[in-house]
Amino acid sequence: MTLHGMIPINKPCGMVSKDVSRWVQRRLGKVKLGHVGTLDPLAEGVLPVLFGVATRLQDYLLDQDKSYEFDVTLGVATDSMDRDGQIVAECPWQHVTADALVAAARSLVGRITQVPPIYSAIKYQGKPLYEYARSGKGEQVNMDRVSREVTIHSLGLLGFGDRTATFSVSCSKGTYVRSLAVKIGEIVGSCGMVSRLVRTKAAGVDLARCVTLETLESHAGSFDDWLMPIEELQLGLTRLDIRDPDLMVRCKYGQRVVLSALELHEKVVLSGGLVRETGVKQEVLLADFQSRKFFGLALLECITPDRYLVQMRRGLE
């Protein structure tokens, strides 16, 4: 079976992302695939799986913002910042109110610095942090050196009861929801851990668009029923639909093509912004105007305000 595109899967709790890839591989045989982003066993929800030439677009999809829904259980802290870890502290939580949680969430919106969980895949001195944690050498890690800046676009309280607060968050790539939960607990004068985590959006795909493994299992012979072609992926790139046959052939052969601004508008249908600053390069998608199919990724360089250089860098056929 030859597949090119993305199947967004609703990853169940208890599996890691690679488990899902292996599950698919066992049912489809030898296919080229990869997943967008990593979800550990506790997390569930949107896991985009790429097939064929779509795997060449993985980096662009990883750059997209993500959304999550998560529960914070107050009054308890664990070494992994979630329910799967060992309890390291217990704190008062009865004083916490919904208003305090709302205020805490508002204070975290914007650009913030996060210290990742020790049980994460970020590398320190060449090794993932979780290797230090599992071998009991977590104290060797200077956590300030692995801190990172992320952007919280929105963070809202969905509900609060029985010491558990439910939040929804929209954030930039690289955001650790567990660190966010711990910070919320600190702000309201308690401590906390993540007891449920669902990724509701990734790579521009919502949870409602995802298919479960159970559904795929029952339709093992027709995975393509849920396949999103690469033309439907949200890549955030300007698109050039080429309607001049000669220009399309030259691009496919990787030739350096210089076009005047007038030629560019005559031979290409442009979708998206165009850089007009001399010397600036931008990555663009190349498509066949007739079929609307992508055939490559290219660099478009503004040589002068009236002249552009186009050269394909990676094929998508």
Number of compact structural domains in the chain: 3
With b meaning 16 or more CB within 10 Å and e meaning fewer, what string describes 56-77? bbbebbbebebbbbbbbbbbbb
**How remote is the C-alpha of 199 from its chain's centroid?**
10
Say yes or no: 221 and 97 in one domain. no
Say yes or no: 72 and 28 in one domain. no
Give me the chain's average pLDDT, please: 90
Say yes or no: 194 and 280 in one domain. no
**Which ranges in 192-234 belong to alpha helices (H)?**
213-218
Quick check: 240 and 301 in contact, CB under 8 A?
A: no
pLDDT at 119 over 90: no
* CATH number for the domain harbouring residue 264: 2.30.130
Active site residue 40: yes
Residue tagged active-site, from 40, 71, 82, 241? 40
* pLDDT tens-digit map of 255-294: 999 999 899 889 999 888 888 889 999 999 999 999 999 9
pLDDT at 124 over 80: no
Say yes or no: 54 and 93 in one domain. no
Quick check: 1 and 29 in contact, CB under 8 A?
A: yes
Quick check: 122 and 141 in contact, CB under 8 A?
A: no
Say yes or no: 73 and 52 in one domain. no
Say yes or no: 96 and 109 in one domain. yes
Q: pTM of the full predicted structure?
A: 0.90
**The predicted structure's pLDDT at residue 89:** 95
Quick check: 57 and 233 in contact, CB under 8 A?
A: yes
Say yes or no: 196 and 208 in one domain. no
Say yes or no: 85 and 126 in one domain. yes
Domain stop point among 202, 224, 250: 202
* CATH number for the domain harbouring residue 147: 3.30.2350.10
Say yes or no: 182 and 83 in one domain. yes
> How sure is the predictor about 138, in pLDDT bands with cuts at 50, 70 and 90?
low
Say yes or no: 161 and 104 in one domain. yes
**The predicted structure's pLDDT at residue 310:** 94
Q: Name which of 114-123, 181-190, 268-277 the model is least confident about.
A: 114-123
pLDDT at 26 over 80: yes
Tokens 């990676």 label which residue?
314
* Domain housing 53: 5-64+204-232
Domain stop point among 180, 202, 224: 202
Distance CA 19, CA 37 (A): 13
